[in-house]
A and B are shown apart, each in its own frame.
Chain A
């Protein structure tokens, strides 16, 4: 594997006292499974932790495995390779960001048409939608009880989306982590 290079090339001054944080987690190992078989017992819109890895049903026929390389490899052992199944390494092709803060849903509501209330998108919910006009896979993945979202987009849109999220989060006191 070539050495990983994030799409985020600008440098930002972090503010540890901020009330909302955006971090670049693009280096996370990402594995995409496209298949006409049911995988991991997960239907579109759900996610589940398998060992140290996170498996997300991002589309009706598509699953995403996120985590450290060994964790993703371990989870990949559970792929049902019957039917028409493709497994694609996505680590270098996608940017992955984490948005954390009590008002994270408020930020997303500004730039995305999805209902981010707990009733519609509870912890673990997975969806795909336009965020700041960029197609993203979005996973509700709270940290220590604080609302948090993982956002994945094409690498080439990474820097733009990162800046768009910082811009939209200005009113919520956002900072890079």
Chain B
């Protein structure tokens, strides 16, 4: 079990949310090369360290937000950042 700090609902069990993944920025589909687009689709840093990622509060407020989590220890730090877009600038 993981207590995920939702900026709207407060701490929630991770089973009430969906882990969207690392927060990455989406290239402009009209300008991106196929290689850039596929990097955006498939490549992730996958660090064993602090990482900014996106969660979606499926069962609660139905909002996307970003939060920093340590993937080695599962600790969260810093206040979560509200955001409706996946991959947009915080």
Contact = CB atoms under 8 A, between A and B. Distances in A.
Are A and B in contact, CB atoms below 8 Å, in the complex? yes
Contact residues of A: prevailing secondary structure: strand
A168 to B, nearest CB: 17
Interface string A112-148: 0100000000000001111000010000000000000
A135 B58 contact: yes
Contacts of B8: 44, 59-60
A44 B59 contact: no
Nearest to A131: B59
Contact of B16 (A44, A59, A60, A113): A113
B15 interface: yes
A44 B15 contact: no
Contacts of A59: 8, 61-63
B12 interface: yes
Contacts of B9: 127-128
Interface of A: 44, 59-60, 113, 127-130, 135
